[in-house]
Amino acid sequence: MTQLMIRKNQTMVTEFFFAIFPKLHEGGLSFFIPLLLIYGFIVTGNLMIFIVIQVDMALHTPMYFFISVLSFLEIWYTTTTIPKMLSSLVSEQKTISLTGCLMQMYFFHSLGITEGCVLTAMAIDRYIAICNPLRYPTIMTPKLCIQLTAGSCLCGFLLVLPEITWIATLPFCGSNHIHQIFCDFTPVLSLACTDTSLVVIVDGIHAVEILASFLIIALSYIRIIMVILGMPSAEGRYKAFSTCASHLAVFLLFFGSVAVMYLRFSVTYSVFWDTAIAVTFVILAPFLNPIIYSLRNKDMKDAIGRLFHYQKRFDGAGR
């Protein structure tokens, strides 16, 4: 039951209701089971990639260091939203407190921006590796990789803080129905009973963040493709393309859906398309990342094989 608070003759909302989720007897279970399986795969797949990269010395390179960071972030990125979706699908209580909603927004967007920064660092890493291979070992040192990761986290967790702090000061009254699968800026701000024209500034900040990362990554890969096409060896071209293809796929899937959602300014979509776009970068992109970085990556497949082979030998020796 919605908790309400009477303050200054105005009914203030203290929790939100996710109106988009069906009731359990109306098909909620048919969404719950696939989503649970997908979430399990995302967590185990990314955790496996993270562990394999940590324990296999052959993967202790800058590229795989960033992939391990991305996998670690993906686990927490999906955990900010999917468990709440799962509970909303099977529970009659499809609500989230105002504080819980603000926390979900903060961590979801902080981790999302951090991921975007890490993808940018990965593009720079591939650019140096392919366009300036002789200087690569001296430029992409372990110290620089850690600094880039720390900078990505700092950027992600600080950029969203003023926005969340501002939203926390807004009064919410009247309807408390959120027509989205998680707490996001636009659906929540539409429920505020005060002037939210500052949202234009918020949209501008999002646009700068997304476009800056997109531009750096796009320019890096354009230059990389030009260098690869100029390679004399067909085998060298194939190896370079296969290495960059996985990064490009993740980049296009993540930034494509994010750009459609957050670079629209005054353009509005139907609830269906809003939900479909959100599903793409909240569920689909994290689901495909372990597949792209493991099943389509020979080094990762070999490392996973070595890990399981060692585990079998260890178990056999213990008997």
Question: What is the C-alpha separation between 319 and 212, in angstroms, rounded?
Answer: 56
**pLDDT tens digits for 259-293?**
878 876 666 778 888 888 899 889 998 998 888 87
**pLDDT tens digits for 205-261?**
777 888 888 888 888 888 888 888 887 877 777 777 777 777 788 888 888 888 878
* Whether the Cβ atoms of residue 116 and residue 262 lie closer than 8 Å to each other: no
Residue linked to tokens 């600094």: 147
β-partners of residue 172 are 192
Which CB contacts under 8 angstroms, 24+ apart, belong to 59-62?
59/299, 59/300, 59/303, 62/125, 62/129, 62/140, 62/142, 62/145
**pLDDT tens digits for 18-52?**
999 988 778 888 999 999 999 999 999 999 999 99
Residue linked to tokens 């670690």: 72
* Whether the Cβ atoms of residue 81 and residue 87 lie closer than 8 Å to each other: no
Would you call 308 helix, strand, or coil by DSSP? Answer: helix
Q: What stretch of H or E contains 18?
A: strand 15-18
What are the structural domains of the chain? 28-297 (1.20.1070.10)
Would you call 305 helix, strand, or coil by DSSP? Answer: helix
* Whether the Cβ atoms of residue 147 and residue 118 lie closer than 8 Å to each other: no
Question: What is the C-alpha separation between 126 and 63, in angstroms, rounded?
Answer: 8
Nearest to 269 by CA among 198, 158, 187: 187
